[in-house]
Copies of this chain bind each other. A is one copy, B any other.
Amino acid sequence: MSSPSTIVGVDLGGTKIYAVAVVDGEVVATAKRSTPRVGGPAAVLERVADTIDKLGVAGAVRRIGVGGPGPSIAGSSLLGPAANLPGWDRPVDIAGALRRRFADAEVRVDNDVNAAARAEWLHGAGAGADDLLAVFVGTGVGGGVVLDGRVRRGAAGLAGEIGHLVVVPDGEPCGCGGRGHLEAYAGRAGIERIARRRHAEGEATALVELAGDGRMKSSVIAAAVADGDAMAVELVDRAADVVGQAVASVALVVDVALVAVGGGLAERFGEPFLRRIEAAAATALPWPSPVRVVPTVLGDVAGGLGAALLFDEERS
């Protein structure tokens, strides 16, 4: 399906709301607002509507796709629960609230990472492929899976949650309360947690010296690696290794060969990081690895674009 009319896509994140106006698969306008920290879902959805207004789309907004940080099942406009959004402790009907501001608009909802995977598949690193695993290595680790030309959403909208795959049984604590999960080793927050604990235990590292009391940004981690800091090199290498191990697990379950890796940490460390992921996946697979790891190409726009593409993806 293609249409000349504008579709709005919204990436609803824990810190910012990023809206895009899409015409024929091209982003023609963008707008950003911060996500409110109080006021619950009503305040957040008002801000989403404000952000859409800021796009300055001519005429009525008739189609709105929203990707957010929680589960969403196909054919529903419910999103959540979403721990990163204020007071969002249950599924919330996105469509109802947005229709009060945009009468007659059709609203579709998806998980933000699944939306980003859709965008990379249709207009990015996976264009033309039937299958794609998209992995985003940022503060945490998220994934989206495209199989046989469909974004897999799953019975409860939880498909692609590879950040919680166990890579080290009884290993490092994960933000979810579990142990040994992928994102406890590969996410920026996990790396920070490990580095600060080891530093507190007496191990020297430029990571903590450079970050001080502030957040240990990926630029800090990159600077420590560039300095040859042993712990930084070890933790970033291990991050790639466990992502590769998880990629192999996905390949064993659904036999996907094309893997696009993005997110802040992956973008920061570039090709060597991706090649190390590919090598680790090959080591973990019992046969010659078909897995090819490529960078994502859409950056910050992927989530919003992928949400808009909910209206374009006939087969999903």
| Residues of A participating in the B interface, judged by any CB pair closer than 8 Å | 130-131, 143, 145, 147-148, 150, 152-162, 164-169, 174, 176-178, 181, 245, 248-257, 284-287, 290
Contact = CB atoms under 8 A, between A and B. Distances in A.
A181 B161 CA distance: 21
A217 to B, nearest CB: 26
Contacts of A130: 155
Contact of A253 (B148, B176, B181, B250): B250
Nearest to A175: B286
A178 B181 CA distance: 21
Contacts of A245: 166, 169
A158 B256 contact: no
Nearest to A169: B168
Contact of A154 (B167, B249, B254, B285): B254
Contact of A155 (B253, B257, B287): B257
Contacts of A143: 253
Interface of A is mostly: loop
A152 B157 contact: no
Contacts of A159: 253-255
Copy number in this complex? 2
B255 A254 contact: no
A255 B131 CA distance: 17
Contacts of A286: 161, 164, 174, 176-178, 181
Contacts of A255: 152-161
B252 A290 contact: no
Which 4 pairs from chain A and chain B are nearest by CB?
A154-B255, A176-B286, A159-B255, A158-B255
Nearest to A255: B154
Nearest to A316: B148
Nearest to A167: B169
A178 to B, nearest CB: 5
Given A169-B245, A253-B253, 10 more contacts: A130-B155, A131-B155, A147-B147, A148-B150, A152-B255, A156-B257, A158-B287, A159-B253, A161-B253, A166-B248
A201 to B, nearest CB: 23
Contacts of A249: 165-166, 249, 253
A284 B166 contact: yes
Given A162-B252, A165-B252, A286-B174, A152 B156 contact: no
A145 to B, nearest CB: 7
Identify which of A159, A165, A253, A255 gathers the most chain B CB atoms within 10 Å of its CB. Answer: A253
